[in-house]
Structure 1
Amino acid sequence: MPENTQIKLFEEKKVRSIWDENELQWYFSVIDVVEVLTESVNPRDYWFKMKKRVHSEDGLELSTICRQFKMTAQDGKMRETDCANVKSLFRIIQSIPSPKAEPFKQWLAQVGYERMQEIENPELAQERMKELYEKKGYPKDWIDKRLRGIAIRQNLTDEWKERGITKEKDYAILTAEISKATFGLTPSEYKNVKGLTKKNQNLRDHMTDLELIFTMLGERVTTEISQQEKPEDFEGNKDVARRGGNVAGVARKETEKELGHSIISSENFLNLDENSNGTLSEDNLPE
C-alpha cells in the first residue's frame, strides 16, 4: 500500500484509511465503517442499499460526499474504494442505526486530533509507534533500529518523489533493486524465506538486527547517491538503487565471511503477530 495508507482499529476491527496530504485530513473506507457499525456479513450490499434508501428518503446522493481511493482489498489487490472524510462520515453514520455510532464518532475525532498533533510534532508519531511495538513484545534495542529504519526509508521515498517517482509499482521496483543488490533477494522472495504468507505482513517487522542494519545501509546510500546525481528518469533511478544496494551487499558479504554464516535468516516474529491485537501504522509503508 502507499505510504499514506494505514489500517486503524476500532474495537479490534480494521478500518482502512488514507491521509490526504493536500487537504490534511483522513479519508476512511466507507465499507469498513459500515461493517464495524452494522456487523453485516455483506457490508458492500448494505452500503449499496443504504445509498438507494437515503436518496429515496432525503434526495441525497451519498456517493457525492465520498471520494474513491485505491486501497488493498481482501484478495490483496488494489481496488477503487468509496472513502469519506470525518465530516462526510458523520452524515453517513446518521443513516445507520447502531449503538456504536456515538463511540465511533468519538474515535474518529480522536484519530484526527492525534494526526494533527503529529504534524505539529513528528516525534509524537514515533513515540506512538514505539509503544505499539513494545506492546507486541519486540525488544527495545530492536525497536530503536526499526524506528531508525523507518526514518531512513521515509527520506528515501521523499527523495524518489523529488526525482518524479509517483507510481506505487515504481516504488516497488526500485525497492526490489536495492533488496536484490543487498541480499540477493527481492522482498517477495525474502518473505518466502521467512515463511511470511499474508499480504499485510511487513517483511521488516520480521528482520533480525543485522538484516535491518544492512537494509538501512542500502537505502541510505541510495538516498545519498540520488541527492548528489539527481537522476532524471526511471532508468537512472534504477541504476542508483542498484548501486546503493550493492554497497550494502558488499558489506554484507564481508560481514558473513567474518562471522562464518549468512546474515539472511528465516527467523521471524510470527508468534508476536499472532498474540497481538494491535496493528502497526507503519505496516503499510512500501517495503
Structure 2
Amino acid sequence: MSDIKLFEDKKMRSHWDEKEEQWYFSVIDVVQVLTDSLDPKDYWYRMKKREKLSGIELSTICRQLKMEATDGKKYATDCSSTEGLLRIIQSIPSPKAEPFKLWLAKVGSERLDEMQDPEIGIDRALQHYLQLGYSENWINQRLKSIEIRKELTDEWKSRGLKEGTQFAILTDIITKAWSEKTTKEYKILKGLKKENLRDNMSNTELILNMLAEASTKDISQAVDPKNFEESQKVAQQGGNVAKVALKELEAKTGKKVVTSISAKTLLSTKK
C-alpha cells in the first residue's frame, strides 16, 4: 500500500509492507526533508559513495520500490524501513534529525494501532478532512467510498489479481465506463497532478463512483470471473450500471455531473 505522509508539511512517499508490517520510505524524500538540498538525488549518491569508503554500504539497507514522481509516472527508487532510516540519518548532520526520529516512531505506532482497531484510522481520516475544510456531508461520502473501494480490492485479491498494474487497469475501465474518462483524463479535467482524484470529486461524482465500484464487486461475486480478462468485462459492466444512473440524472437536471470543478478549487475559494 503506497501512501503520502507529511513531515513539517513536506511530502514523504511511503509504502506499507503488509507481510513485514512496517513502513518503507523514499530515502531521497528523507534526504530532502533533512537537508533542504536542491538536489537530494545527488546528495544521496555522494553520501553512499562517502560512506562506502568508510566500509559502510548503505545500499544494503535499502530496497527498490516503484513510487510516483513529480511527472506522475512511477519509477524504482531507494526506500528503507524505519530501522534502516535511523542508520542513514546518522550520516546526515541535521537539526531536524531528532524531530524526524520521533515522527518515524509516531507514524509506525499509528499504523499498528489502526491494524488493531480500524476505527482509529477512520477517526484520523475524519479529522484530517475536517482540518482541510471539507464539509461533513462530503466527508461522510468520502469515508464510505474508502470502505467500498476496500471491499472491491479485497474481491480482486481473492481472485488472484495483482495490485499495481492490474488494479489500475480495472479501475480505469470502471471510471471510463461511467464517466467516459480514464483516471488520468479525469485528473487533467480537474487540474490535478499528484492529488487524489476522489478527494476532488463532488458529492454526486463520489456517489456514482461508489455505485460503479460496488456494482463491480457484486457482479464479480455473482459471475465468478476466472481470470484477469473476465474481470475486465466485469469492471465494464459495473461501470455501466453507474453510467445509466448518470445519464438519467443529467437528463432530469440538464446539468453535467463530471465537471472541472474540484474540491481543491472550492476549498481554495473558501479560504
Task: Determine if the TM-score, normalized by the shorter chain, exceeds 0.5.
Answer: yes
Deviation at 1:211, TM superposition (A): 1.1
- 2:76 is equivalent to residue 71 of structure 1: no
Could you tell me which amino acid in structure 2 is paired with residue 166 of structure 1? K
Cα 1:143/1:62, change in 2 over 3 Å: same
Give the corresponding residue for 1:14: 11
1:274/1:259 CA distance change after superposition, 3 Å: closer
Correspondence for 2:212: 218
2:252 to 258, 264, 267: 258
**Shift in CA distance, 28/192, structure 1 to aligned 2, threshold 3 Å:** closer
Shift of the alpha carbon at 1:35? 1.1
1:285 alignment partner in structure 2: none
Could you list the runs of 5+ residues in structure 2 that have no partner in the other structure?
none
Pairwise CA distance, 1:264: 2.3
TM-superposition CA deviations, 1:244-283 (whole Å, max 9, x none): 111111122222223233322332123366699xxxxxxx
Question: Quick one: distance in 2 between partners of 1:260 and 1:87?
Answer: 57
1:209 corresponds to: 203
Per-residue CA deviations over 1:140-194 (Å, capped at 9, x if unaligned) read: 0010001100110111112112222215232222112212221222222323333
Name the structure 1 match of 2:155.
Answer: 159
Go from structure 1 to structure 2 and tell me whether the alpha carbon gap of 1:34 and 1:231 turns closer, same or farther (over 3 Å shift).
Answer: same
Task: Please identify runs of 4+ aligned residues in structure 1 that moved more than 3 A.
Answer: 271-276
Q: Which amino acid aligns with 1:69?
A: L
Q: Find the residue that maps to 1:76 and give its secondary structure.
A: coil
Check the 8 A contact 2:134/2:267 in 1, yes or no: no
* Distance change in 2, residues 1:234/1:251 (3 Å): same
Q: How does 1:108-119 map to 2 (within 5 A)?
A: 108-119=104-115
Deviation digits for residues 14-53 of structure 1, max 9, x if unmatched? 1111100110000111111111111111111111111122
Match of 2:43 in 1: 46
Query: Is 1:229 paired with 2:228?
Result: no
C-alpha distance in 1, partners of 2:229/2:108? 39
**Are 2:239 and 1:242 aligned?**
no
Structure 1 gaps of 5+ residues are 277-287
Shift of 1:55: 2.1
Higher relative contact order (CA 8 A, sep 6+): 1
Matched AA of 1:17:
S
Instruction: Give 3-state SS (helix, strand or coil) of 1:46's partner.
Output: helix
CA contact (8 A) 1:137 1:272 kept: no
- Of 162, 178, 182, 2:178 maps to 182
Name 1:34's counterpart in structure 2: 31
Is the 1:136–1:275 Cα contact (8 Å) retained in structure 2? no
Percent identity over paired residues: 53
CA contact (8 A) 2:178 2:243 kept: yes
